[in-house]
Structure 1
Amino acid sequence: MNTLTFPLSVALEAPTRRTVSADPYASGAQTDALLRSGAAYRRERMQAADMITTEEAAELAGTSRVTINAWIKSGRCLGVSHLRRGFKLPRWQFEPFVFPYLQPMSKALGTTDGWPLLAFLESPHPALDGQTPRVALEQGVDAKRVLGLATAEGH
């Protein structure tokens, strides 16, 4: 039965049971803890064995460090800002199953910032049966499907 079938006076009455709503905002302590955990994750991720410097990436790609930096800026490759200076890059991005799709993925997500790109590529997605986009590409999932997910996430 919907409200249109009730007499107007009944439909306008306040609910008899009160609901307690929690404060929708995080406390200062919760915010601080979240920021600390995010910073710790970033430090750990940059120190992971698969992360390389721009110099190592240039050697791997057969180009210069200047070119790698230009690629990062344009979204052609993924680099995360290093706390001291420069970038760290995941080595796996230079594999043929990922590298050709990085720039289109960057455009689809609407960013050249390495952290959102890395988060997208390394986060499990239900539309990929729980696989990460990176693993899905590695396993031969159609790149158009992964790019479609990036487009959906970017909008």
Structure 2
Amino acid sequence: MGLTGPPDPGRLEMKETIQHPSTTNPRASAKTRPSNLQPPSYVPAAEVRSLLANSLAARQQRLGAADMISTDEAAQLVQTTRVTINAWIAKGRAIGLTQTKRGFRMPRWQFEPSVWAALPKLSAALGTAEGWALLSFLESPHGGLNGITPRQAIEQGQMDKVIRIAEHEGN
């Protein structure tokens, strides 16, 4: 394989011609790569550590928020057992947020009837039972909902719209 033409100082040099058997013109397809191409940039390790530390701090702050309850408190609230609550978390039926110590923290608002009815559908539509992913989706403003959060939309009776958005995002 060689050059496809004389070098032009205003263009990158063609290093090789790649011919594809499916093309009707054997010279129709060529890939170029500049000889001075640098490898992609990588995020420095210090920046990655900083991002992870900030993420951990944000998660710890959310776990300590006033609307968070333990699995024991959730079981008492809905008159069931902690074992049942843990099974619901595993299935995506309830939002359980992992923490650095044993157990889960749970947003109390998920037990409101409108949100409670939406959770299993939302988990299935997003394709995840992971608590942080579910919470992030529910608490992040969404353009498809005119900037309100999916949780707010559900509370305003727009569960079907939120589920359609979740199905799109889950794919």
TM-score by length of 2: 0.77
Partners of 1:114 and 1:58 in 2: how far apart?
17
Q: Secondary structure at the match of 2:114?
A: coil
Q: Does 1:70 align with 2:87?
A: yes
Give 1:25 deviation, angstroms.
2.6
Give 1:24 deviation, angstroms.
4.2
- In the alignment, what sits opposite 1:146? 162
- In the alignment, what sits opposite 2:11? 14
Match for residue 41 of structure 1 among 52, 58, 65 = 58
Please state which structure has a larger fraction of its residues in helix.
Answer: 1
Structure 2 residue runs without a partner (length 5+) = 13-37
Q: Secondary structure at the match of 1:97?
A: helix
Deviations 1:17-58 (A, max 9, x none): xxxx9x543111111110000000110000000000000000
- Aligned pairs for 1:103-118 within 5 A: 103-118=120-135
Partners of 2:155 and 2:67 in 1: how far apart?
16
Partners of 2:76 and 2:69 in 1: how far apart?
11
Alignment RMSD? 2.3
Give 1:139 deviation, angstroms.
1.8
Give 1:90 deviation, angstroms.
0.2
Structure 1 residue runs without a partner (length 5+) = 1-7, 16-20
Instruction: Give, as a single letter, the amino acid of the residue that structure 2 aligns with 1:154.
Output: G
Choose between structure 1 and 2 for higher RCO, CA contacts under 8 A separated by at least 6 residues: 1
Q: Percent identity?
A: 50
Instruction: Give, as a single letter, the amino acid of the residue that structure 2 aligns with 1:128.
Output: L
Q: Does 1:90 align with 2:107?
A: yes
Give 1:138 deviation, angstroms.
1.1
Partners of 2:80 and 2:96 in 1: how far apart?
16
Partners of 2:130 and 2:76 in 1: how far apart?
22
Give 1:86 deviation, angstroms.
0.7
Instruction: Give, as a single letter, the amino acid of the residue that structure 2 aligns with 1:129.
Output: N
Which is higher, the Rg of structure 1 or of structure 2?
2
Match for residue 25 of structure 1 among 22, 25, 42 = 42
